[in-house]
Structure 1
């Protein structure tokens, strides 16, 4: 069986909706993101959780090669946004256009890890060096059984390896 995309579920296949939640483990701002078209909130550097948006869909039964397409936009210089002219002015609009030209668009296809009968949410983890991972756990990061605690310990390297 080939790769299965959540955005192209087979007709008649039972699906379940899943809220989307994001975690940013980087120094860049995540301006926006989506998982198979289901949008996620803006996430500041080293922030996340607590903001769920509705909804993406998953097949009720997990199958091998189940994948998701993650698209996101980063602002690598979020702190310099404070230096823009006053909001609503022509100077602001010109400066913001130049500032926003540095936003970076990303797209990656990732595997959806095995899940059992229940999916509580799709957790999207934005990692250093433009990596992204997805989790379907019902646990929160503060729970001892949360499977992705290592992401919260990751440090950004000074230089990312080339892909």
Structure 2
């Protein structure tokens, strides 16, 4: 097994407040952001094996910009009370996903897609480069209704 930093790519309009992959925490991700920050450390096998999977858990804020419009002074008692109500709208998720074949291991990269879909890779390359399995646009179209 090898130590691998963890990073994420958020292709949605929600905020990813926190996430983990196989228990290793990743950085928070604003809407349509990612790839810049890394956290340490997850682990990946030196050599890919069939059936390799990852458990991804995350917390999502579907309306991350709403508090910018609140009239209350930030961190006042009224603002804190409103924020507590806002946090009730956060959702928590957990999925198990396949990690596609890689020849050279690298950073654990988690892609958050619309409809709470997730993809993980440990490929030793980055988005936009040959051989990278998930070249999604950062701003993906989001459906009002998700399947499943």
Match of residue 46, structure 1, among 27, 32, 37: 32
Q: Can you give the 5+ residue segments of structure 1 that lack an aligned partner in the other structure?
A: 1-14
Match of residue 77, structure 1, among 59, 63, 70: 63
Contact 2:14 2:60 in 1 (8 A): yes
In the aligned structure 2, how far is the partner of 1:75 from the partner of 1:136? 26
Contact 1:22 1:123 in 2 (8 A): yes
Q: Can you give the 5+ residue segments of structure 2 that lack an aligned partner in the other structure?
A: none
Give every structure 1 segment of 4 or more consecutive aligned residues whose post-TM-superposition deviation is greater than 4 Å. none
Query: What residue number does 2:80 align with?
Result: 93
Q: Give the structure with the higher percent helix.
A: 1
Query: What residue number does 1:120 align with?
Result: 106
In the aligned structure 2, how far is the partner of 1:19 from the partner of 1:136? 10
The DSSP-based 3-state class of the residue aligned with 2:65 is helix
In the aligned structure 1, how far is the partner of 2:36 from the partner of 2:101? 23
Contact 2:15 2:60 in 1 (8 A): yes
Q: Give the TM-score of the pair, scaled to structure 2.
A: 0.91
Number of aligned residue pairs: 147
Contact 1:33 1:39 in 2 (8 A): yes
In the aligned structure 2, how far is the partner of 1:107 from the partner of 1:99? 21
Which is higher, the Rg of structure 1 or of structure 2? 1
Query: What residue number does 1:160 align with?
Result: 146
Instruction: Output aligned runs, 1:16-31, within 5 Å.
Output: 16-31=2-17
Match of residue 133, structure 1, among 95, 105, 119: 119
In the aligned structure 2, how far is the partner of 1:130 from the partner of 1:77? 15
What is the root-mean-square deviation in Å for CA atoms of aligned residues? 1.6
Residue 87 of structure 1: how far off its partner (Å): 2.3
